[in-house]
Amino acid sequence: MKYQEWVPHLFRTEFARITAVLCNRFGIDQIEAAEDLASDTFVAALESWTYQGIPENPRAWLYAVAKNKAKNYIKRHHLFLQKIAPQLQGSDEWSDETDFDWSAENIMDSQLQMLFALCHPSIPVQSQVALSLRILCGFGIEEIANAFLTNKETINKRLLRAKEKLKSEKVSLKFPGVESINGRLGTVMITLYLLFNEGYSSESVDGVLREDLCHEAMRLTYLLIENDRCSRPVVHALYALMCFQASRFPARKNDLGEIILYDDQDHSLWDQSMIFKGMFHLHRSASGDDLSKYHLEASIAYWHTIKEDSFLKWSNILNLYDQLLNIDHSPVVALNRIYALYKLKGSQAALEEAEKLSMTKNHFYFVLLAELNHEAAPLIAKQYLLKAYNLAKTQTDKIQIEKKLSRLTNSIAVGAQHDH
């Protein structure tokens, strides 16, 4: 029996590749068949490799089995006559050269075309993310449900409805034409951005899974970068943003798997090669006159890769948040802008702005108010933290607030001792 080094995620990666290549050949209406055939291929590998050992070339083995299964499927469903034969133009015989193309190039093209199809505007964005995880990343239903903190039934329904929509809308797997590429690219980027954030801030306890989501989002974004028609400055901006955020992965968690907030991170653990990669792509994003929210967020993320506080750092961040607010007026952006203001001009200036916001249902708002008050008025800060704790919905948030509370309580106690 031969034992080779296990390629991490080999099955998941190849599942996605096989599904994309088969579906590209069959058409989007056969998406479930493509999935099933890919699944069957891995069941066959399981039944054989487990006992006989892993073959010399596992990928070639998988592609050969997938091809045979696909050919049988075509025979059984008369797909050959209806769909494939007209494309073969005259040649009515399958030959190994003309059937399935497993070249790296075709795999990439198939996945890219699939990405555009799945991110069709007719499909709700949450479903696009779930579909991408299933079809393009090879995740199982349970794994997707874990990532979204929901149950398998919900994900199953979501996927089923989305696939029905793909069929009823007759979404094409052809690459979008020049006239529609801009709009379609925007939808694709929103999905990739969400996919990354899902991994970055997911509440799922499975930390490995979360980082996997981020890496998958980066891999798919890189597919866009490698394609001449998609490699726009804005795509580089999105990729740069992901690199900067991902550079902090090694420092984001303690041994218990709990999140370590930015201020408490050991910045010697930040992945410098990832930061350099981000800088390269941020540089590439700086052409043309389109200033997207990805550009602004990537630039903010860049300044966060510099640990030391400085006037330059925070005045740049504040300026960038001011611009971002004009494009994306969300509570998170508004709160982050006030934090930057606090870092630059101190708590009094920030408090004045914060009071104008009055987001009394947002626990982050009270966390911020507590931060702004913790030196001048620690007892008030404590009240704010208690409010934030009661409003927080997730366990991770509650744990973070609890930590702040106990730190604050300790410092109040120390202060009281000094007074005596």
Partner 1 sequence: MDEFLLIMRHEDGSKIASPEQMQAWMKQTMDWISTIAAQNKFVGGTGLPMQDACVVKSNKMVTNGPFGDIKETIGGFIKVRAETMEEAVGFAMGCPVLQGEGNSVEVRKIAQDHGNS
* Residues from 13 through 42 that contact partner 1 (CB under 8 A): 14-15, 39-40, 42
- Tell me if 138 contacts partner 1 by CB under 8 A: yes
Q: What is d(CA 38, CA 101) in angstroms, rounded to the nearest whole number?
A: 15
**Binding residue for partner 1 (CB under 8 A) from 29, 44, 194, 253?**
44
User: Which residue, 56 or 92, is less far from partner 1 as judged by CB?
Assistant: 56
**Binding residue for partner 1 (CB under 8 A) from 140, 186, 207, 250?**
140
Q: How many residues bind partner 1 (CB under 8 A)?
A: 28
Q: What is d(CA 361, CA 393) in angstroms, rounded to the nearest whole number?
A: 11
- Tell me if 48 contacts partner 1 by CB under 8 A: yes
DSSP helix/strand/coil, 42:
helix
- Closest contact distance (angstroms) between CB of 15 and partner 1 is 4
**Binding residue for partner 1 (CB under 8 A) from 28, 131, 141, 391?**
141
Near partner 1 by CB under 8 A, which window of 44-52, 117-125, 284-292, 368-376? 44-52
Near partner 1 by CB under 8 A, which window of 3-11, 196-204, 249-257, 402-410? 3-11
Distance, C-alpha 294 to centroid of its chain: 14
Distance, C-alpha 110 to centroid of its chain: 20
Q: What is d(CA 336, CA 305) in angstroms, rounded to the nearest whole number?
A: 16
- Tell me if 106 contacts partner 1 by CB under 8 A: no
**Binding residue for partner 1 (CB under 8 A) from 51, 56, 86, 228?**
51
DSSP helix/strand/coil, 259:
strand
- Tell me if 264 contacts partner 1 by CB under 8 A: no
Structure tokens at 305: 């890769």
**CA distances to 335, 336, 370 from 331, in Å:** 6, 9, 17
Near partner 1 by CB under 8 A, which window of 6-14, 213-221, 281-289, 310-318? 6-14
Q: Which residues contact 252 (CB under 8 A, 6 or more apart)?
A: 259, 260, 265
Near partner 1 by CB under 8 A, which window of 1-9, 215-223, 326-334, 371-379? 1-9
- State the DSSP code for 80: I
The single-letter code of the amino acid at 162 is: A
Cite the beta strand spans of 76-139 per DSSP E: none
- Tell me if 71 contacts partner 1 by CB under 8 A: no
* Residues from 277 through 336 that contact partner 1 (CB under 8 A): none
Structure tokens at 142: 């349970």
Spell out the alpha helix ranges (H) of 179-287. 181-201, 207-225, 233-246, 272-285
- Tell me if 49 contacts partner 1 by CB under 8 A: yes
Structure tokens at 66: 């997938």
- Closest contact distance (angstroms) between CB of 104 and partner 1 is 20
Give the residues lining the site for partner 1 (CB under 8 A): 1, 3, 6, 9-12, 14-15, 39-40, 42-51, 53, 138-143
